[in-house]
Structure 1
Amino acid sequence: MPGALETLWDHYTWVLESGDPRTDAWILVYSPLPVILLLLLYLLLVLVGPRAMSQRPPLELTGALATYNLGLVLLSGYIFYQFLTVSLLADYSYFCQPVDYSQNELSMRMARVCWWCFFSKAVELLDTVFLVLRKKQEQLTFLHVYHHGTMLLNWWAGVKYVPGGQAFFVGMLNSLVHVFMYLYYGLASLGPRARPYLWWKRHLTILQLGQFVAIAAHASYNLFAECSFPDGFNLAVLLYSLSLIVLFLNFYRQTYLRGRRKKRL
């Protein structure tokens, strides 16, 4: 057992020390333990929250939801703008872009926007808090929990080890999609009066699927191209994107195609 503990400690030390030293001092980056603790608390909320709310009336939270979603529209828009601007100023390749680990202004700016993208994933865990408080348990699906939880962990690894390079493409697409996604959620939080403006939910799902297909294709290309961005990260991005494609296709089928068939019957 002492040998096993020593090996475990050696692995943990490697995780801490092998990251990008430029980002180590940033909030939630140096050690995985705070992020893992946050994920455990998140899963506890998913398990216990609905039971705690079962004997309580649902909270409306209209104002809080509208403010929260508008805030995420603005944050996602800022992140997209930064990814796009820095990639253009630094003449990034959209096919193969290694990480620039230097201290120059543009590489640090790219690393910072990667951190903001990671931070936004921590903020987005509040999506689930609002669902629990509003007693929307039917929306606490495996897709919802898996997507929110794993995004946080994935972006932690990105900021810790590869804050830039090919990661910018993932963050740029994802933040753009989130502008539209949280705009939709913000309108939906206003209740029945906003219903005429929510006709584009299906198109939003297609947009989400499109980003995962693009990210999977991008990662696949870089697995076979001669690019110095780590293949391990490209493979992880590819497999993760494929898992989301499967889950979102199932959501699309359940939400749009099955409902249409029932109406015909």
Structure 2
Amino acid sequence: MAGVIGAIVDGYHDILENYSDPRVKDWALMSSPLPTLAICLTYAFVVKIAGPKFMETRKPFELQKTLIVYNAFQVIFSAFLFREALHAGWFSTYSFRCQPVDYSNSEHALRVAGGCWWYYFSKFTEFMDTFFFVLRKKNDHVNRLHVIHHGIMPLSTWFEHLIKFSEDKAVISSAGMLFSKRWDTNKHESNEQSDRKVNLEQEGDTCRAVKTLIKMISRTPGW
């Protein structure tokens, strides 16, 4: 058993030391996946246990103005990420086909890496979607799929950004963010306008499927 644990630990350090991008290892939250994992676990605890317990005897918060500001911020942030993907990627030296990643310290290469880091950071800002549901006592929206999706994305994106063979895929996947953000905006707007039972989960699953398809295509050999 000790040998298995030792092999896992050695493999973990081998990946971080020999297969990670040295340019970003000193960036915020990039030196180890453990802080990101801790944040994700805290998110799950808050939205599934602590948050509902806190709101149990309280009235739902009225957050209409807050949601308007939040949605506006997310749309602007998503547009920024999409613009970076175009100007640092497809409208510059990147093509629509797979290609080797530029790991130099050139201005362009660092801009691509920076755009990927902001995409990673955006996964944390999206936690607010769930926090707002909890504060408004919309617990039916905080289902298992929702929590797993939001809770695992920061960790998934961390590995995509830091590990050398994946950074180009993070640039590709950021293109899906602006598309999927419209789903989150619609979801909050619909909840503000009425309490009718609207089947928006299917729309959300479709958006996520499109994002996954973009990633799968970008990783296909020969592209």
**TM-score, normalised via structure 2 length:** 0.84
- Whether the 8 Å CA contact 1:76–1:176 is kept in 2: the answer is yes
Q: Is the 8 A contact 1:170 1:215 kept in 2?
A: yes
Q: What is the identity, as a one-letter code, of the residue corresponding to 1:11?
A: G
Letter in 1 for 2:11: H
For 1:75, the equivalent position in structure 2 comes to 77
8 A Cα contact 2:90 2:96, kept in partner: no
Aligned match of 1:40: 41
Please name the residue that 1:170 is paired with: 173
Cα distance per residue 1:202-226 (max 9 Å; x no partner): 777655443433433343x32xx3x
Q: Which moved more, 1:100-109 or 1:82-91?
A: 82-91
**Contact 1:76 1:178 survives alignment (8 Å):** no
Higher Cα radius of gyration: 1
- Give the aligned length: 217
Q: State yes or no: 1:13 paired with 2:13.
A: yes
Distance apart, 1:141 and its partner CA: 1.5
Higher relative contact order (Cα pairs below 8 Å, separated by 6+ residues): 2
1:116 matched residue in structure 2: 118
Match of 1:161 in 2: 163
In 2, Cα distance between equivalents of 1:64 and 1:158: 32
Alignment deviations for residues 114-162 of structure 1 (CA, whole Å, 9 cap, x no partner):
0000000011112111111111110011221121112111111111114
Give the C-alpha shift of residue 99 in structure 1: 1.4
Shift of 1:89: 4.4
- Say if 1:184 and 1:3 are closer, same or farther in 2 by CA, change over 3 A: same
Any idea what SS the aligned residue of 1:166 has?
Answer: helix
Maintained 8 Å contact 1:83/1:171:
yes
> Which letter does structure 2 place at the counterpart of 1:216?
M
Q: Which runs of 5+ in 1 are unaligned?
A: 228-265
The match for 2:128 is 126
1:141 aligns with 2:143: yes
Contact in 2 for aligned 1:99/1:166 (Cα 8 Å): no
RMSD: 2.7
Counting aligned pairs with the same residue, the percent is 33
- Larger deviation, residues 13-22 vs 133-142: 13-22
Q: Distance in 1 between matches of 2:141 and 2:121?
A: 23
**8 A Cα contact 1:24 1:30, kept in partner:** yes
The CA distance in 2 between the partners of 1:205 and 1:89, in whole Å, is 29
Distance 1:138 1:161 in 2: 36
Question: Is residue 50–residue 132 contact of structure 1 (8 Å, CA) maintained in 2?
Answer: yes
Q: Residues 58 and 133 of structure 1 are in contact (CA less than 8 Å); yes or no, is this contact kept in structure 2?
A: yes
The whole-number CA distance in structure 2 between the counterparts of 1:201 and 1:36 is 26
Residue 25 in structure 1 maps to residue 44 in structure 2:
no
Q: How far off is 1:33 after superposition?
A: 1.0
Corresponding residue for 1:216? 216
Cα distance in structure 2, aligned partners of 1:178 and 1:184: 10
With the length of structure 1 as denominator, give the TM-score of the two structures. Answer: 0.72
Letter in 1 for 2:102: D
